[in-house]
Structure 1
Amino acid sequence: METPTIELRNLKVQDYKELKVSMIKSYSGMPEDYWSEAEIKTLVKKFPDGQFCIVIDNKIAGCALSIIVDYEKFDENHTYDDIIGGDNFSTHSKNGDVLYGIDVFIHPEYRGKRLGRRLYEARKELCEQLNLKSIVFGGRIPNFAKYANELTPKKYIEKVKLQEIHDPVLSFQLSNDFHVKKVIKGYLSGDHESKEYAVLMEWNNIYYTKPQKLIESTKTVVRLGLVQWQMRLFKDFDALVSQIEFFVDAVSDYQSDFILFPELFNAPLMAEFNHLNEAEAIRGLSTYTERLLEVFTDFAINYNINIITGSMPQVIGEHMYNVGFLCRRDGSYERYEKLHITPAEESAWGMKGGTKLQTFDTDCGKIGVLICYDVEFPELPRLLAEEGMNILFVPFMTDTQNGYSRVRICAQSRAVENECYVAIAGSVGNLPKVNNMDIQYAQSAVLTPSDFAFPVNGVKAEATPNTESTLLADVDLDLLKELHNFGSVRNLKDRRKDLYTIKLKK
């Protein structure tokens, strides 16, 4: 009889077919809850080292999936959904300090061969290699339902520890040097065998060395600077750049972490193309976009500030897009796109909507940027919130007060719905000699959720309407964490995911 070959290795996307077979067999209590191929692809892409499998004769015999989290961001009473951050695993952070186990299973055919121990040892070794503080996970207690009428979860755990009761999950974890941190109620919806209880388990890495931080890497109180830009004609490109630098210099003097410019703030440069039709003129304006990106990138470094450049037209291939850039103070930058184009932008300029929605990592946590009309679509900020966004920046351009009101009211709603701060910045004044850009109306503002820790009207600060100015405001990210866990209402936690969900198409 041939001895089977056993291989412990990292999971690959091409393993999914065999993995699915193993999952369905393993999840006998919840056979429909296996991981989708898209979820496995995302895990392998985000954290390939953290996904282990055991292969026996080309069959997946067992698997352990994990992510890295910044554990301080989570309440000890978190749920499974809280910790994984949705099907895009938005809570995974390469800068986190805890390896969080999100699944371990062994195919029934291969149980009793100590394969689970191999997977746990691989996790421990990875934890040590990455210098993580510990391994944490919420462990099911599948035999608890048999004793729930006579034992509390605490008594049940005590009896399992004393080996008076055998629990296939908890008994195994205790024998692998994991200790009980606490019991969590309502951890995994639909886990009837455990009565939806879970035991929060931890294994401490004795070799962990806390990294020395000379400077705090992620700030909790963040200073925002908003530019309420006056539309005016400029002599040339250099004159526009001088005005940009004036605001960057002024705001950075107050040690601001971010500065936000409005949508299409560079429209005055379109005056030189006013002899062309509107579609040709906006394409003329797009020739300045690359030069402005270079300017903003240099200013971000020189003035030590993260710059959100508002938006500018950009031609890609045959199409015109409305785009902007996050220029970080470390010299890196990323691009964002306006996804929803207004009827006027389409008819006058021939603009196309972008296709990419994402959050951005900064030294002040995760942020999102939506350009003007995009904030009127509540699905977009909700998807960003599920990725961990704390601050949403909205550069806008509106010509009338009712257009401005649409942006303002929707932005304030997004702050409440998604438990985040929303900063909106627009342009003011008149712009003669530029078609389709005649008048501007704006009142820039920093908007907040509505609860006791925040202003009663949900407005942290706002500029004087229709006057060129800067607006400075501090926002406390820890207040968002408190709101999420202990607010009067908890909009994100209280969603009925059993009735509805929204997902970004991939």
Structure 2
Amino acid sequence: MIDSAKIELRNLKVKDYQELKESMIRSYHTMPHEYWTKGEIKTLIDKFPEGQLCIVIDNKIAGCALSIIVDYDQFEDDHTYDSILGGENFSTHTKNGDVLYGIDVFIHPDYRGMRLGRRLYEARKELCEHLNLKSIIFGGRIPNYSKYSKELTPKKYIEKVKLQEIHDPVLSFQLSNDFHVKKVIRGYLPGDHESKEFATLMEWNNIYYTKPQNLVKTTKTVVRLGLVQWQMRLFKNYEALVSQIEFFVDAISDYQSDFILFPELFNAPLMAQFNHLNEVEAIRGLSEYTDRLLETFRDFAIKYNINIITGSMPQLVGEHMYNVGFLCRRDGSYERYEKLHITPSEESFWGMKGGNKLQTFDTDCGKIGVLICYDVEFPEASRILAEEGMNILFVPFMTDTQNGYSRVKICAQARAVENECYVAIAGSVGNLPKVDNMDIQYAQSAVLTPSDFAFPVNGIKAEATPNTESTLLVDVDLDLLKELHNFGSVRNMKDRRMDLYSLKKKK
């Protein structure tokens, strides 16, 4: 009956999940992680649809191969399965990577012996060639090793499998499909007792691979940051405010900066015209300028060839007021971020609500994150961004007193250390005598770093003069973060006890 069945090789779809789950449970009944969740499969399909392959026989999932693309230079060969995945959001996947990394292949027990695994492997090879990737790499189990572990080392076991003196259902199959053993990894998949927690790092090289000619480098390793320490002052009108914004964008772009960061609620001077209203009505009046400012920032980002982080502005969505900002890329695209944690005064004076959007943003200088002021005092938020691959965290803030500023700075320094990233903070100075609840400002903008030999001993790359309008221009080297991650005196991201605790972002 199977011989006459229709066999279809295609990309996996979310609607296949129930069939997929049943096949996974049957295929991996001896493994601790028996099946992928629907959310994980959906994320893989959303991020890399062509990399998720399945074989369907009479409307049943008979086999599946899941994969991501990684920048393999960011990993050591001695990685673990969990570290290469980047968590349930698969944050290690990048379209700018050079390796197709296989994260799962299985064949339903009822359909084994039909050479379906070979079809999946050949489809992966074709995909690797089509995407011009350097190789396919994955960690392979050696399930029969437990039978020989008392008499053979993993190396000897692999040699005997190569010589066909021992048959291993996984390794023998992979070797017959032109993969070679790159390395033996210890502790690759905790709980894999059949393999004694060893794995073979397998590789297939794409002989047609052509290294891209980076005439224009798409991802920079040394990134220049420009921070605006904004003077709160009364402006005659909206156009005067925009003129001051353009002055800073123009000046900082003249130094070939990649980013410019404005403070939280820097446009508050426009509230002066609403001072006859109560606080809730005044902030709603200010929010009427947000869409206009977004379009202005988008124009400036293109005109001055710089990525602009617009600080924050109030935005009315339905009946609720939010504190939001925008990443305006120099290619004309933009994305919105929200303040997640609202202070008691923001809630009581302005009726603001906390946002619900927490994510990293891709730029031509790598992944970045943005947290607004109070958000940086909650370590979970920045840790989630770090797990998604963030290298630079931008924190626009607004504090009225020095103790408020100290909370922001101290927490920002902690975030730099624990997440192995750079943190740029920018605030406002001066006063607004005709704007209620915005009377005085205190700030000392800065770029903060991890604390290790490659970085400043005090973890401060540079800081502005306190309470004076100024700009701060700072170069940060992203390669130093890679060195820290792999070879630092301490390695906070690697040394977490994931066997004891974990942090997850709710869908």
Query: Which residue does the alignment assign to 2:293?
Result: 292
Query: Which residue does the alignment assign to 2:119?
Result: 118
| Farther off after superposition, 87-96 or 435-444 | 87-96
Cα distance in structure 1, aligned partners of 2:418 and 2:96: 28
SS in 2 for 1:86: coil
Query: Which residue does the alignment assign to 1:347?
Result: 348
Query: Which residue does the alignment assign to 2:47?
Result: 46
Counterpart of 1:83, as a letter, is: I
- Report if aligned partners of 2:322, 2:355 keep a CA contact under 8 Å in 1: yes
Q: Deviation per CA, 1:134-185, whole angstroms, max 9, x where unpaired?
A: 1111111112222222222222111111111111111100000111111222
Cα distance in structure 1, aligned partners of 2:431 and 2:377: 25
Please list, as runs of the form range in 1=range in 2, the aligned pairs for 1:398-409 lying within 5 A after superposition: 398-409=399-410
Where does the alignment leave 5 or more consecutive residues of structure 1 unmatched? none
- Normalising by structure 1, what TM-score? 0.98
Q: Deviation per CA, 1:232-251, whole angstroms, max 9, x where unpaired?
A: 11111111111111111111
Please list, as runs of the form range in 1=range in 2, the aligned pairs for 1:8-407 lying within 5 A after superposition: 8-407=9-408
Query: Which residue does the alignment assign to 1:466?
Result: 467
Per the TM alignment, residue 41 of structure 1 is displaced from its structure 2 partner at its CA by 0.9
SS in 2 for 1:428: strand
Per the TM alignment, residue 97 of structure 1 is displaced from its structure 2 partner at its CA by 1.7
Counterpart of 1:209, as a letter, is: T
Counterpart of 2:226, as a letter, is: G
Per the TM alignment, residue 476 of structure 1 is displaced from its structure 2 partner at its CA by 0.8
- Report if aligned partners of 1:24, 1:32 keep a CA contact under 8 Å in 2: no
Per the TM alignment, residue 57 of structure 1 is displaced from its structure 2 partner at its CA by 2.3
Q: Deviation per CA, 1:426-476, whole angstroms, max 9, x where unpaired?
A: 001111100000000111111111111111111111111111111111111
Q: Deviation per CA, 1:210-252, whole angstroms, max 9, x where unpaired?
A: 2222111100011111111111111111111111111111111
SS in 2 for 1:87: coil
The answer to whether structure 1 residue 6 and structure 2 residue 7 are counterparts is: yes
- Report if aligned partners of 2:32, 2:192 keep a CA contact under 8 Å in 1: no
- Report if aligned partners of 1:25, 1:31 keep a CA contact under 8 Å in 2: no
Q: Deviation per CA, 1:88-131, whole angstroms, max 9, x where unpaired?
A: 11111122221110000111222122110011011111112222
| Farther off after superposition, 191-200 or 300-309 | 191-200
Per the TM alignment, residue 31 of structure 1 is displaced from its structure 2 partner at its CA by 4.8
| Residue correspondences, number | 506
The answer to whether structure 1 residue 457 and structure 2 residue 490 are counterparts is: no
- Normalising by structure 2, what TM-score? 0.98
Please list, as runs of the form range in 1=range in 2, the aligned pairs for 1:432-443 lying within 5 A after superposition: 432-443=433-444
Q: Deviation per CA, 1:398-446, whole angstroms, max 9, x where unpaired?
A: 0011111111111111111111111000001111100000000111111
Per the TM alignment, residue 325 of structure 1 is displaced from its structure 2 partner at its CA by 0.5
What fraction of aligned residue pairs are identical, expressed as a percent? 86
| Farther off after superposition, 391-400 or 28-37 | 28-37
| Farther off after superposition, 222-231 or 136-145 | 136-145
SS in 1 for 2:127: helix
SS in 1 for 2:88: helix
- Report if aligned partners of 2:32, 2:191 keep a CA contact under 8 Å in 1: no
The answer to whether structure 1 residue 501 and structure 2 residue 482 are counterparts is: no
Per the TM alignment, residue 348 of structure 1 is displaced from its structure 2 partner at its CA by 0.6
Cα distance in structure 2, aligned partners of 1:396 and 1:136: 43
SS in 1 for 2:408: helix
Cα distance in structure 2, aligned partners of 1:197 and 1:479: 31
Cα distance in structure 2, aligned partners of 1:473 and 1:150: 58
